[in-house]
Amino acid sequence: MESVRKLVRGQWDAWLDRRIPARSRVTLTQKRIFILPTWMGMGYLLTTFLLFVAGVNYDNSMILNFSFFLGSLFVVSILQTFSNVSGMVISAGHTEPAFCGSEAKFVIHLEKSRKKEHHSIFCSWCGYQSKAYNLIQEQQVALVTLLPTQQRGRYRPGRFKLHSIYPFGLCQAWTWVDLDMFALVYPRPIECELNTTSRSDGEEGSHVVMEGQDDFAGLRAFNPSDSLKTVDWKAFARRNVLYTKQFQGYQAKSAWLRWNEIAVGDVERRLSGLCYWVLQFSKTNEPYGLELPGVTINPGVGKQHEENCLTALAEYRHG
Amino acid sequence: MADSRHPPVFPMPRTAFVLLMVSVTLAVLPHVQRVPPWLLAVFGIVLVWRIQVFRQRLRFPPKWARLFMVCGGVLGVVYYHGTIFGPDAGVALLISAYLFKQLEMYTRRDAFLIIILSFFVLATEFLFSTSLFTSLYVFVVLVVITAALIALNMTDTSIALWRPMRAAFVTVLQAVPLLLVFFFLFPRIGPIWDLGMKSTIARTGLSDRMTPGDVADLSQSAKLAFRIEFEGEIPAPRDRYWRALIFDRFDGKTWSAQGDPQSIPFSPNRLNVNGEALRYRVLLEPTGNNWLPAMPWSQLSGVKHRTSNGLVHYAINVVDSAISYQVETFPDYQYETEGMPRDMWGVYTTLPPLGNARTYALAKDLYRRTGRNPERMTASILRWFNEERFIYTLKPPKLGSDSMDDFLFGTRKGFCAHYAGAFVFMMRAAGIPARMIGGYQGGEAHPIGKYLLVHQYDAHAWAEYWVNGKGWVRVDPTAAIAPERIEMGSLRDSLDELSLLDSPFSKMGLRNLPFMSELRLMIDYVDYLWFKNVVSFDSGVQHKLLQRILGEVTPQRIAMLLGVCGGVVVLGLGLWMVLSQRRLLELDLADKLYLRFQRKLSQAGLQRETGEGVMSFSLRVQQRFPDQSDTINKISCLYSNIKYSNRSEKRDTDKKLTSESDSIAALNQAIKNLKL
């Protein structure tokens, strides 16, 4: 039984992959939209049928016409439900990484490609049910989903379902879209002991940390993102051009986080331990380096450095 | 707010709630006169309660209270109507269930159920009336219910009330073409099974019992009874007698028509027909009875019916909705010239043996004096009615136990049933078979449409007696007392205003204004057209239509025609929906020009990268073609100026606008000048 289900599932997925291949930007056309009556739609059809029977049996032509009208309305509702989602463009937005066990954020952009409204669009993705999104006045909305993570690495949740029952709730139009999105899942940080020898390792003062605050290192062209405190105002007065002063610092000590120096056993536990220490060092703003089998990241500080280290941990493949 | 006993309330959008309440009210409104009054009170309470729940002032009633209310509602309806079957009780039950459902509207599904029930309650209105006015009303309410359904599925709570209304209106209009296809082509079939429910709808109109002595005040109704379209000329008023019922039994007080439908059927052998046929179509309003009015002798088609030996027609099914049928009348006919079955003779000569001694004596005396000739006897009775001081009135005094004696020798005031009754009594007292006929007489010819309007106030009673060798002969004793009643064709003008109880104009005294009368006839004409073309579109008419389209009518051909027409309509609608949506991102002139510039460059082997800015691309191109550097720089500057300079500023004045068109012209020129 299980194998049959798997086979069917596999066939279905393969068919879907052919029909709606993974792309980062998908426009909904009739090829990609499925549509079926909802349970309410079934109830509505039953009502229509009952009224038809009543009209026939009471020989009442106006009740008959009433049921014809309800039937026509149902057909129109199929077209309108379809029309409500068609022409919508779905594109991949950014993703935010998560520590294993917490929720990763996936942003999907919905945008109009035609001069019409899209109402009450829902997204369900790996058990997550989004709130309703409307594209009425707005040209584009960002649909935010939070998906729980279970495994370190690149998390690819695969196809998600966008669906809507607007305007009548009698039919549901939906599509399965794969935007080829993934989010990084860092190891779950778990506190563990770190071999202290690693902390003294490394040559003292030999690492130059850019963007430090100790010594003046030179000038570079101003970027709008630079703090005004770092602008060389004297130079501005002289030459009417903005320059940013750059400083560098010398790190007295830098720590190394090494694969072998985590006390505990299996791969994931070690990565979790390293992750914990990366976060610890980042919190205290101490410079640290990371060494995994096959990967070495030189000591540094800052958000970018932390992210590099965490990415390395997330994408690490043992053996 | 919500605790475990009170499930959380479905956060219905305000618009949806308002529309739902309006639909509920509008769906119940036309039934107001038919449901028990206490149900209306409950309706008000439930509505107010539900609104208070929505405003979070009250909670939904607990489950036991709702259960109690539902049981109370059902029992109340059963007590009021005495049954749970039949349209009236059914509608009342439906409405009470519908109302109590209001008080457990927690989920979207519950709200949806309210919508479905609204459809039902609305559709039942057609059980009572299928007039154009009713249909228009139903159509409007349908739009409101559809709007409520749309609003229920809207998630943008800030949306205004008119938006779902507009969406519903558009949808309903879109549904109309397919509705027409269904209307014309969907096979109409007769009732599949007999529901076996006798109608309980109370109607005004002819009753199968008539007690002239009891009715102190004949209430006349201005309601329409039926319309008749004649193929030829409309006959003169004095010939317009529409027979419906035969009052063949008299118990001393009441004439009743109970015997005839069960009696022996009509036998063609006993009928002699001469002369030309009169062809017409009767468009009968619902009567709640089986009788089908027609002139004698008639053949009916287009309705399932039986014809009795009394030459009246009975529909197999109770006429609960407006129907129409084709009639072929031979006014020159004779029936039962040779005699009639023995038991029928018995029925038509039977009188209560006791009482009314003076009438008996008078009849026997007259019969002897006229030489035992029924026709001469009739003439002398009519002459007697005419010469004595008999008065035609719709407000006769009550009669005592010997009603005939009391009437003929006492009060001498009465309407048609009094005179017809007295005549039949006297004929029977003399041993001549006679019967009272109930039906309609006269009618009003419509000035625009070529048809006759017969109202309830045209209801009439007259008599028939049997002559050996001639069969049944009609006689109208009322004509002897009030000939204008028969000659005018209608009683309306001789009635005073107050006796027309349900005429909308009578209370205002506007009835006699010529303008109002014209308006009334205009309204009736539109309603007539509606009935003729829409309501009475039945399997017969449809079959004719299909025959004209298909030639031979087979189920396969009907299915194919329906499929093709339906398909074309749906496809057309779908295409229209797709084609009417305009693309959002239309390139403006500057974009088109810049694309031309890019094409020129790509021919020269230089491609603009995705995400590459206009200016940085320009620098790259300038490096590649230093000799064209100025032109390239100009193009890039002009383009980014047009596209990215402040739009509101640009639109400020006409002067700036002209400067934009100038720069587009310059851009065009520069791109043309570019030679690589």
Q: Could you tell me the strand order of the sheet in which B291-292 lies?
A: B291-292, B313-315, B305-307
How far apart, in whole angstroms, are the C-alpha atoms of residue A300 and residue B413? 121
How far apart, in whole angstroms, are the C-alpha atoms of residue B583 and residue B522? 49
Contact criterion met (CB below 8 Å) for B288 and B223: no
Which ipTM score applies to this complex?
A: 0.79
How far apart, in whole angstroms, are the C-alpha atoms of residue B644 and residue B337? 104
Q: Helices B14-28 and B162-185 sit at what angle, rounded to 10 degrees?
A: 50
Chain A residue nearest residue B172, CA to CA: A73
pLDDT of residue A264: 66
Q: Do B191 and A71 touch (CB under 8 A)?
A: no
How far apart, in whole angstroms, are the C-alpha atoms of residue B30 and residue B617? 73
Residue ranges of chain B with pLDDT lower than 50?
1-7, 196-200, 216-217, 261, 489-510, 648-652
B476 as an active site residue: the answer is yes
Distance set, CA A145 to CA A27, A153, A154, A165, A259 (Å): 20, 19, 17, 20, 34
How far apart, in whole angstroms, are the C-alpha atoms of residue A81 and residue A71? 15
Contact criterion met (CB below 8 Å) for B466 and B434: yes
> Among residues B313, B402, B405, B416, which one is catalytic?
B416
- State the pairing for strand pair A171-177/A128-129: unpaired
Cα–Cα nearest to B570, from A76, A13, A284:
A76
Given phi > 0 = left and psi -120 to 50 = alpha, else beta, which region is B527?
Answer: alpha
How far apart, in whole angstroms, are the C-alpha atoms of residue B32 and residue B11? 31
B444 Cβ neighbours under 8 A, 6+ residues apart:
B452, B453, B454, B455, B489, B490, B492
| Residue A201 binned pLDDT confidence (cut-offs 50, 70, 90) | very low
**In which element (H, E) is residue B471 found?**
strand B471-475
pLDDT of residue A202: 44
How far apart, in whole angstroms, are the C-alpha atoms of residue A162 and residue B376? 93
Which residue stretches of A61-189 are H helix?
Answer: 61-85
How far apart, in whole angstroms, are the C-alpha atoms of residue B404 and residue A190? 113
pLDDT of residue B501: 42
- Res. A2: pLDDT tops 80: no
Find chain B residues with C-beta within 8 A of A83's C-beta.
577-578, 581
pLDDT of residue B495: 44
pLDDT of residue B340: 81
**In which element (H, E) is residue B280 found?**
strand B278-284
Find chain A residues with C-beta within 8 A of B149's C-beta.
167-169
**In which element (H, E) is residue A98 found?**
strand A98-99
φ, ψ dihedrals at B474, nearest 5°: -85, 140
| A179 CA: distance to closest CA in chain B (Å) | 19
pLDDT of residue B128: 83
pLDDT of residue B169: 93
Concatenated DSSP letters of B128-143: H---HHHHHHHHHHHH
Contact criterion met (CB below 8 Å) for B234 and B445: yes
How far apart, in whole angstroms, are the C-alpha atoms of residue B166 and residue B170? 6
Quote the DSSP letter at residue A194.
B
- Res. A210: pLDDT tops 70: no
| B183 CA: distance to closest CA in chain A (Å) | 7
How far apart, in whole angstroms, are the C-alpha atoms of residue A116 and residue A85? 10
Cα–Cα nearest to A120, from A76, A159, A172:
A172
The neighbour count for residue A140, using CB atoms within 10 Å, is 11
How far apart, in whole angstroms, are the C-alpha atoms of residue A258 and residue A101? 24
Tokens describing residue B429: 């007292």
CB of B182 within 8 Å of a chain A CB? The answer is yes
pLDDT, tens digit (0-9, with 9 covering 90-100), for A274-310: 899 889 888 888 888 888 888 888 888 888 888 899 9
B305 as an active site residue: the answer is no
Helix (H, G, I), strand (E, B) or coil at B90: helix
When CB atoms are compared, the residue of B159, B171, B581 closest to A80 is: B171
Q: What is the mean pLDDT of residues A234-262?
A: 74
When CB atoms are compared, the residue of A44, A59, A77 closest to B191 is: A59
Find chain B residues with C-beta within 8 A of A112's C-beta.
584
Q: Do A72 and B581 touch (CB under 8 A)?
A: no
When CB atoms are compared, the residue of A60, A68, A73 closest to B183 is: A68
Helix (H, G, I), strand (E, B) or coil at A154: strand
Q: Which residue has the tokens 């778990």?
A: A190
The neighbour count for residue A68, using CB atoms within 10 Å, is 22
pLDDT of residue B136: 93
pLDDT of residue B580: 79
Q: How high is the mean pLDDT of chain A?
A: 84
- Res. A211: pLDDT tops 50: yes
CB of B321 within 8 Å of a chain A CB? The answer is yes
Terminal-residue alpha carbon distance, chain A:
36
Contact criterion met (CB below 8 Å) for B106 and B9: yes
pLDDT, tens digit (0-9, with 9 covering 90-100), for B245-295: 888 888 888 888 765 545 677 888 888 888 888 899 998 888 878 889 999
Helix (H, G, I), strand (E, B) or coil at B313: strand
Q: Do B126 and A62 touch (CB under 8 A)?
A: yes
| Residue A68 binned pLDDT confidence (cut-offs 50, 70, 90) | very high
Q: Which residue has the tokens 């005073």?
A: B496
pLDDT, tens digit (0-9, with 9 covering 90-100), for B122-162: 998 888 888 889 999 999 999 999 999 999 888 877 778 88
Show the CA angle centred on residue B227, arms to residues B495 and B502, nearest 5°.
Answer: 40
pLDDT of residue B503: 44
Terminal-residue alpha carbon distance, chain B:
75
Quote the DSSP letter at residue B285.
P
B88 as an active site residue: the answer is no
Sketch the domain layout of chain A as residue ranges: 22-184, 187-207+251-319, 216-250
- Res. A251: pLDDT tops 60: no
